Amino acid sequence: MTPATAGAAVREAAQRIAAVSDTARLDAELLMAHAMGVERNLLLLGRMDDPVPAGFAALVEARLAHTPVAYLTGSRAFWTVELEVGPGALVPRADSETLIEAAVAHFADRAPASVLDLGTGPGTLLLAVLDHWPEANGLGIDRSPEALAYARRNAERLGVASRARFALGDWAAGVDARFDLVLANPPYIGTGEQLPHEVAGHEPAGALFAGADGLDAYRLLAPQLARLIAPGGIAAVEIGSTQAEAVSALLQDQGLSTRVEADLGGRPRAVIAG
């Protein structure tokens, strides 16, 4: 029998989605809010007794087929911004906020004037720091035209397009400048590692996998970073939770000093180099 209210439909959907997600209740609420065309907080504060909107059932079925929630709703919150995402773009993860937190701590009461985001995807890291520091300007580089299309739309919607440039490229090849802050979230999954179907089956492989040991992108990035960091600046590079020692060694071989920052779960998540 079809649930009579949005609240009942959310409860039923959460029970079903639990088979494919560790955040089933949240997933169901986000999908219901999207189907209603409202923010999740408005759904929870006063719309749970509304009729079930058309389209909700199809969203639930798509989630049960492992489609990422962000692809179904078309957006994902990150730091202080809401980013448009979809097929062809890596879904922003909360763990990546570790890089922003490290940058905020480093620059303290000043702002970086120039920011470079290597492998920018939908503009995740670059747009977060431009929103945090209104006086900063930045360049985002990615090898995916699809991802850059999301990044440019996100910059326009967030009102930072005048301070954000995006370019198609292979990491920092051809970049002849130094930046106060260099950010990078490269692929770091080994080609033989198993990932959840909603990740491996939907998100772009080029943003996930990096050779047998997951270190291929760092081997390319390490020789480039030293020439990109301005005096007093840093590079913040995301890593897999087991890669701190290997990535630190690659950067130290290029004459950089390093430290490791942990994410909220206490796992090594970023190498900070300068």
User: What is the reported pLDDT for 205?
Assistant: 78
- Residue-wise pLDDT for 40-62, tens only, equals 999 999 999 999 999 999 999 99
Beta carbons of 75 and 85 less than 8 angstroms apart: yes
The pLDDT value recorded for residue 1 is 66
Query: What is the pLDDT, as a whole number, of residue 117?
Result: 98
CATH number of the structural domain spanning residue 140: 3.40.50.150
Please provide the distance, in angstroms rounded to a whole number, between the alpha carbons at the two ends of the chain. Answer: 61
Closest by CA to 270, choosing from 251, 243, 252, 249, is 243
Final residue belonging to a domain, choices 19, 43, 65: 65
Write down which residue in 18, 40, 65 finishes a domain: 65
Q: Which residues of the chain fall short of a pLDDT of 50?
A: none
DSSP one-letter code for 4:
S
Half-sphere exposure of 255 (CA within 13 A, CB side): 7
Closest CA to 210 of 201, 219, 222: 219
Q: Which of 65, 89, 113 is the last residue in one of the domains? A: 65
Query: What is the SS3 string spanning 102-138?
Result: HHHHHHCCCCCCEEEEECCCCCHHHHHHHHHCCCCEE
Question: Domain of 37?
Answer: 6-65
Count of domains forming the chain:
2
